[in-house]
Amino acid sequence: MKSQVTYGKYVYTNIGKDSFKINNEEYKLDRVNSSILKLGAEMKHNLSNTFGLYYGLAYNYEFAGRARGKVEGLKIRKADISGSSGRIRTKRKTIKRKFLGL
């Protein structure tokens, strides 16, 4: 049995300001925004009752992923993770069956 799923997702993340200490150094992070579009397809193929294959292909595009902050009052370099990425996944699934002997 084969099954195929095609999908599209939009994910928006907003993390407010935060501060914390590591080794007595104070870190202050400004707001972080992330806006991602995900497009992909997945296929499942059951070869038998106990064995199957799964594979997928996805494309992600980060529209605006920016972060700013300070360490001990000094500005850190802005992080910009905008751009595209891809992902290929494969998986083998084996189902173990338990039989009860009476």
Q: Where are the domains of the chain?
A: 2-94
Question: Where in the chain does DSSP place strands (E)?
Answer: 2-15, 18-22, 25-29, 32-46, 51-62, 66-67, 69-71, 74-75, 79-80, 83-94
Mean pLDDT (the chain) is 84
pTM exceeds cut of 0.85:
no
What confidence tier does 9 reach under pLDDT thresholds 50, 70, 90? very high
Question: Per residue in 33-73, pLDDT tens?
Answer: 788 999 999 999 888 878 889 999 999 999 877 777 777 77
